[in-house]
Structure 1
Amino acid sequence: MGLALSDPMGFLASALKVIQRQSDKQVAADIQSVVREYEVDHIVLGHPITLAGEVGKKAQHVERFRALLANLVSVPVELFDERLTTVSAQRVLLEADVSRKKRKEVVDAVAATILLQHYLDAKSH
């Protein structure tokens, strides 16, 4: 799972890191640590709805994860449409001529950055 942070003014997103997922509880605990360390005041999770706008199994899993995470942190946890963020991340990395191995390592962090930037841009309008 990729993590990104915004600047204090909420204008610009930047990649933070990738969390290797072993379980939802472990990922939620890792995010809880990031919230404390970076004094995060809002969490945005990618909501993987289908291109047709339907809520499939992946989206339902994220909704359950959101509930788990919301019970661990004292900040709002919001879902935001993540359609095509991984595709965009792959395209950015290909255009930057990043090797296949390196792309695999960073694609989730780049996708998280794109998602957060879309969120920030949507909120500024």
Structure 2
Amino acid sequence: MRLMGLDYGDRRIGVAFSDEMGWTAQGHSVLERRKPEEDMEKIRQLAAAEQVTEVVVGLPKNMNGTIGPRGEICIAFANTLRDILQVPVHLWDERLTTVAAERTLLEADVSRKKRKQVIDKMAAAIILQGYLDSKSKG
């Protein structure tokens, strides 16, 4: 069982994978967004290479729990991904994950330039770890 976590943004997609047991998430890479077809193909290739059985996509909700325009875009992305990969795709509340990733990097004294390079994959790892943790409790 190997899961892929995605932080789907306007310009970049953060990618993370779980370990084989589905216990821990590790940031993997950041994909610069190009064309939707190219983005999907890159994700498909990564999923195939890592033998992914499930995908978790961050769902940006408003602080009051409602879903806004950005959330609708992520839902459409997740539905397209489900059709292409033919594996379960779960949406996971990603409120404040980028803030948490930024805080962690600041505490680790990572330079601004380096933070920009890793923040999206770290956010993807936080999203995926949250999902994994919820499954281990239930």
TM-score, normalization: structure 2?
Answer: 0.88
Partner of 1:6: 18
Partner residue in 2 for 1:56 = 68
**CA offset at residue 26 of structure 1?**
2.1
Greater fraction of residues in helix: 1
Structure 2 gaps, min length 5: 1-12
**Residue 32 of structure 1 pairs with residue 48 of structure 2:** no
Aligned to 1:22: 34
Q: CA deviation at 1:20?
A: 0.5
Cα pair 1:6 1:13 within 8 Å, conserved: yes
Q: Which of 46, 53, 65 is equivalent to 2:58?
A: 46
One-letter amino acid of the counterpart of residue 128, structure 2: L
TM superposition shift of 1:83: 0.6
The Cα of 1:24 is off from its aligned counterpart by 2.7
Could you tell me the TM-score, scaled by structure 1's length?
0.97
Helix, strand or coil at the partner of 1:39: coil
Query: In 1, Cα distance between the equivalents of 2:63 and 2:36?
Result: 25
Please tell me the residue identity of whatever aligns with 2:95. R
Equivalent residues of 1:11, 1:120 under 8 A apart: yes
Equivalent residue runs for 1:71-90 within 5 Å: 71-90=83-102
- Tell me how far apart the structure 1 counterparts of residues 107 and 57 of structure 2 sit (CA, whole Å): 26
- Is the contact between residue 24 and residue 65 of structure 1 (CA under 8 Å) also seen in structure 2? no
Tell me whether 1:117 sits opposite 2:92 in the alignment: no
Count how many residue pairs are aligned between Structure 1 and Structure 2.
Answer: 125
Comparing both structures, which one devotes a greater share of its residues to strand?
A: 2
Matched, 1:91 2:103: yes
How far apart are the structure 2 equivalents of 1:23 and 1:95? 35
The unaligned stretches of length 5 or more in structure 1 are: none
Q: What is the root-mean-square deviation of aligned Cα atoms in Å?
A: 0.8
- What is the identity percentage for the equivalent residue pairs of Structure 1 and Structure 2? 44
The Cα of 1:49 is off from its aligned counterpart by 0.8
Could you tell me how far apart the structure 1 residues matched to 2:74 and 2:83 are? 14
What SS is found at the alignment partner of 1:55?
Answer: coil
User: How far apart, CA to CA, are the structure 1 residues paired with 2:49 and 2:135?
Assistant: 24
Give 1:93 shift: 0.4
